[in-house]
């Protein structure tokens, strides 16, 4: 599904990026009564769609594109929101309030919202550019993987044991592939979760037939006629395969902003209401480094739909003259096999965990504590804990009785 771009050469609000943050910013502006022109510019050729299904139901063939669109295609025209798809922003001139697009055209803006997300971090080893090496960031990536599977790829090597790698591994198993998962660290999910959750998912993937290899790096991707045939590991072993799926994180897509003078080192810096250091330019979503109250105001980037969505609402309000502090509770989810993980809060810097329930039952919660106070909950199949844990974190937590927290028969709400 592809659309021709708008011919508009200026707009009251220009939004760069047609992903979660960009789409929600446009929706929120209209919901809040913004009457000026809105133009969304995006590199993607497809109208705004949800990314999470790309490593889940869409990749598995369980949901078609129509079902992952953020709004039906006609919504954008109905709301008078122009889409310029298949168009990259190359340069920004903050003094002139203009952007240059990949086709050389210039667009003027009064306010600019940058929601560029990130580009997949690429493998740096020899052979990484061969056919059959896939990243999972946009629809084209998922479509290319699906085409390879259709064409008969059966042996997959997934590089990276973060959420995207694990979700892709689960789908590939479901589709009948032989799957090996390589993780450089000594546990999966090491960047985002505690050891209990990591070990649980490692065991689950092994039970489902994935060959999970920890503390294992990649030396080289080998191939024949430009097509991948195997991966050489850092212990010298060669694993044959038909496809390689890489999920090793993202690099924030902010180059034009930084070149234009915006402050930022890990992404682009934004203030309490998502303004960059450049006049009239806001940034939201995966690329926006902000002081987060749920991380003791440490400056971080969050890569989640919640963050993109809530920052978009904050910016829409700010543009409408209602400058509010972005202080939404972070939450996240991941689906692997029949397991649904829901996370509330940020576990960064936790110093203790409390386990509620038994992972062997495949229903349990890991509570993360810092100085005795809960700061996050990872809930596997424990929806009530998730809902009540969110309330606890939003209410502002005090130190809790660890024994009571560990008792699955005591609802979390009783500890608030």
| Three-state DSSP state, 233 | strand
Shortest distance (Å) from residue 43 CB to ligand FAD: 4
Of residues 14, 16, 27, 149, which one binds ligand FAD by CB under 6 A? Answer: 16
Region 139-178 residues binding ligand FAD, contact defined as CB under 6 A: 164
Q: How far is CA 134 from the centre of its chain?
A: 17
Of residues 269, 286, 310, 378, which one binds ligand FAD by CB under 6 A? Answer: 286
**By CB under 6 A, which span of 1-9, 14-22, 200-208, 227-235 interacts with ligand FAD?**
14-22
Binding track, positions 238-257, relative to ligand FAD; x by CB under 6 A: ---------------x--x-
Query: What is the C-alpha separation between 109 and 46, in angstroms, rounded?
Result: 23
Q: Following CA atoms 22, 288, 334, 124 in sequence, which dihedral angle do they give, to the nearest 10 degrees? A: 110
Q: Are strands 218-224 and 211-213 parallel, antiparallel or unpaired?
A: unpaired
Q: Are strands 243-246 and 133-135 parallel, antiparallel or unpaired?
A: parallel
**By CB under 6 A, which span of 4-12, 35-43, 145-153, 183-191 interacts with ligand FAD?**
35-43
Query: What is the C-alpha separation between 267 and 118, in angstroms, rounded?
Result: 9
| Three-state DSSP state, 273 | coil
Shortest distance (Å) from residue 57 CB to ligand FAD: 11
- Diameter of the chain measured on Cα atoms: 63
Region 70-99 residues binding ligand FAD, contact defined as CB under 6 A: 88-89
Region 190-249 residues binding ligand FAD, contact defined as CB under 6 A: none
Of residues 159, 305, 328, 369, which one binds ligand FAD by CB under 6 A? Answer: 305
Query: Of 103 and 398, which has the nearer Cβ to ligand FAD?
Result: 103
For position 180 contacting ligand FAD by CB under 6 A, the verdict is: no
Shortest distance (Å) from residue 106 CB to ligand FAD: 14
Query: What is the C-alpha separation between 87 and 290, in angstroms, rounded?
Result: 27
For position 116 contacting ligand FAD by CB under 6 A, the verdict is: yes
Structure tokens at 377: 């909950």
Shortest distance (Å) from residue 407 CB to ligand FAD: 29
For position 264 contacting ligand FAD by CB under 6 A, the verdict is: no
Own/partner long-range contacts of 94-102 (Cβ < 8 Å, ≥24 apart): 94/260, 94/261, 94/278, 94/279, 94/280, 94/281, 97/280, 99/14, 99/16, 99/41, 99/256, 101/41, 102/43
Which residues here bind ligand FAD, judged by CB under 6 A?
Answer: 16-22, 41-44, 51-52, 54-55, 88-89, 115-117, 136-137, 164, 253, 256, 285-286, 303-306, 308, 332-334
């Amino acid at each position: 599904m592809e659309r021709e771009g708008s011919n508009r050469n200026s707009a009251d609000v220009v939004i760069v990026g047609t992903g979660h943050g960009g789409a929600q910013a446009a929706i929120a502006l209209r919901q809040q009564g913004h009457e000026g022109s809105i133009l969304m510019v995006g590199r993607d050729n497809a109208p705004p769609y949800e990314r999470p299904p790309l490593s889940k139901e869409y990749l598995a063939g369980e949901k078609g594109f129509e079902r992952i669109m953020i709004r039906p295609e006609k919504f954008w025209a109905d709301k008078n929101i122009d889409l310029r798809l298949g168009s990259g922003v190359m340069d920004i001139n903050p003094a002139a309030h203009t952007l240059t697009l990949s086709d050389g055209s210039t667009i003027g803006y009064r306010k600019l919202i940058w929601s560029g997300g990130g580009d997949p971090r690429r493998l740096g080893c020899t052979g990484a550019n061969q056919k059959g090496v896939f990243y999972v960031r946009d629809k084209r990536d998922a479509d290319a993987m699906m085409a390879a599977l259709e064409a008969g790829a059966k042996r997959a090597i997934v590089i990276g044991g973060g959420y995207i790698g694990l979700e892709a591994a689960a789908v590939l198993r479901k589709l009948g592939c032989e799957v090996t998962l390589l993780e450089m660290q000594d546990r999966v999910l090491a960047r985002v979760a505690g050891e209990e959750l990591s070990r649980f998912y490692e065991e689950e993937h092994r039970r489902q037939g994935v060959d999970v290899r920890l503390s294992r790096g990649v030396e080289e991707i080998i191939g024949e006629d430009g097509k991948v045939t195997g991966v050489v590991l850092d212990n010298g072993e060669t694993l044959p395969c038909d496809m390689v799926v890489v999920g090793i994180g993202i690099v924030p897509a902010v180059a034009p902003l930084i070149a234009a003078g915006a402050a930022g080192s890990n992404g682009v810096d934004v203030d309490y209401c998502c303004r960059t250091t450049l006049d009239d330019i806001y940034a939201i979503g995966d690329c926006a480094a902000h002081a987060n109250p749920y991380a003791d105001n440490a400056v971080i980037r969050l890569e989640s739909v919640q963050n993109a969505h809530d920052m978009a609402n904050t910016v829409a309000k700010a543009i409408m003259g209602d400058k509010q502090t972005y202080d939404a509770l972070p939450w996240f989810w991941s689906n692997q096999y029949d397991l649904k993980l829901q996370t509330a809060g940020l576990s960064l810097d936790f110093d203790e965990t409390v386990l509620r329930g038994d992972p062997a039952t495949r229903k349990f919660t890991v509570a993360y504590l810092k100085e005795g106070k809960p700061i996050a909950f990872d809930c596997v199949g424990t929806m009530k804990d998730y809902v009540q844990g969110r309330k606890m974190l939003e209410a502002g937590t005090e130190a809790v009785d660890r024994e009571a927290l560990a008792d699955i028969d005591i609802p979390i709400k009783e500890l608030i």
